[in-house]
Amino acid sequence: MRKENIETPVEIIYEKVNECPIRDRVYSFFQLVFVISGNGYQTFNGNRNSYQADDLFLLTPEDIHTFDVVTTTEFLLIRFNRSYLNEYDWKNLNHLECLLNNATHINGNILTVRSDKVIVKSLIETILQSIDKSDLFNEELKNYLINALLVVVARSISCYQLTDLQENFDKRFVNIVNYIHDNIYTPERLRTITISKQFNISESYLGRFFKAQCGETLQDYISKYKIRLIRNRLKYSDMRINEVADEFNFNDGSHLNKFFKKQSGVNLTEYKNSV
């Protein structure tokens, strides 16, 4: 199966088609697909969903996607890779890369909130107007618009993830999870005593509260989230093992390897050679 790459950190492509020109391919990059007009079906890893105007799809690396066009369809494709995500300071969205990579459970249109649909449509219209322009600040404007779009996407994905929680979940849980994501590279900030002080609750209550909300312990959640990010580094970047260890504040590659093998069952080299 053919794997498609992009040569630049981000690409914007407009297409008007009667049939999908790309079938059963996997990508090395992320792709947002907005349906400007038309209708048909999207197949995502074997799951088939209908599409119509104003729908937005997130296509993730290594997954298989096909669009079956029923009526002539206009698509706006926004392709971006990991280097694009790393180029910007995302403030409270340091976990954006992992959030996108772990959105493969979402099938179909990712926009469910009406206000988000209005925002996205406005952003898409402005992006379309900027495609063929070449004035001094046009590139900066396009990046700004794409970043705004990604923030909306991140919010939509987060809403999907929260549907797995109990209906009466405590908002503090979301705040704790966001804190973990924001501090995943700083181990001393992820100690139970530090988190409990941050949210003014006891250590024993924090442990019970967290497990009641998501079904796993606080430390298990932190470890699994960290493993996801490390896997992404090994799979989608040219970073060396010692560089990954340094990023996540392990003493060296040996300590990272010990942690990775305990969580994944294979060592770093075995995993890196398998992807």
Instruction: Using CB atoms within 10 Å of the CB of residue 108, give its burial: 0 to 12 exposed, 13 to 18 middle, 19+ buried.
Output: middle
Q: State pLDDT tens for residues 102-143.
A: 666 567 888 877 888 999 999 999 999 888 777 778 888 888
Q: Which two tokens stand for residue 88?
A: 């910007």
Residues in the chain: 275
Does the pTM surpass 0.85? The reply is no
3-class state of residue 105 by DSSP: coil
Least confident of 14-18, 148-152, 236-240: 236-240
Model confidence at 228: pLDDT above 90: no
Encode pLDDT of 67-111 as tens digits.
899 999 999 999 998 778 877 666 555 556 666 766 665 678 888
Q: DSSP letter string over 26-78?
A: EESSEEEEEEEEEEEEEEETTEEEEE-TT-EEEE-TT--EEEEEEEEEEEEEE
The answer on pLDDT for 260 being more than 90 is yes
Q: For residue 178, what pLDDT is reported?
A: 76
pLDDT band at 191 (very low <50, low <70, confident <90, very high): very high
Q: Average pLDDT in the 170-176 region?
A: 77
Q: Answer with the residue of higher pLDDT: 3 or 194.
A: 194
CB 100, CB 29: distance < 8 Å:
no
pLDDT band at residue 159, thresholds of 50, 70 and 90?
low
